[in-house]
Amino acid sequence: MEIIGSTLRIYVDDLETASDFYERLTGATALRFERGGVSVAAVSCFLLMSGPKEELDVLRKVAATIAVDDVDQARAALSAAGADIIAGPVPTPVGRNLIAVHPDGSVFEYVDRKPAV
């Protein structure tokens, strides 16, 4: 498994205002989508999320989003190292993801940019 990068998860009340700020800051255009009642804007290395408190409370348990070259390889490496895969791999608007709990209790999302098979 190759780790390509990470995304900073930011929870906001006003997605439009926050998106405008991060677009100006980075010079990147936001990729926007909806997932489970949560509005998301991905701007460069920032993942902005806004939505119902109950939905965001669940998402806040995830410490970070880790970009990998292949989610299937990540699943195998994580399992072999002792992590528990609690969700996925599942398709997303930009690839696939899974959620893993590391042996220390940290929760991470792993994503790739590969279409679902």
The ranges assigned to domains in the chain are 3-112
Q: Under CATH, what is the fold of the domain 3-112?
A: 2,3-Dihydroxybiphenyl 1,2-Dioxygenase; domain 1 (3.10.180)
pLDDT digits (tens, 9 = 90+) for 25-48: 999 999 998 888 899 999 999 999
Q: Residue 104: what pLDDT?
A: 95
Q: Across the strands, what pairs with 10?
A: 48
Reported pTM: 0.83
What is the C-alpha to C-alpha distance for residues 110 and 13, in angstroms, rounded to an integer?
25
Q: 3-class DSSP state for residue 71? A: helix
What is the C-alpha to C-alpha distance for residues 50 and 18, in angstroms, rounded to an integer?
10
Nearest CA among 69, 26, 31, 24 for reference residue 47? 31
Q: Residue 117: what pLDDT?
A: 57
Q: Could you say which residues of the chain have pLDDT below 50?
A: none
Q: Residue 88: what pLDDT?
A: 87
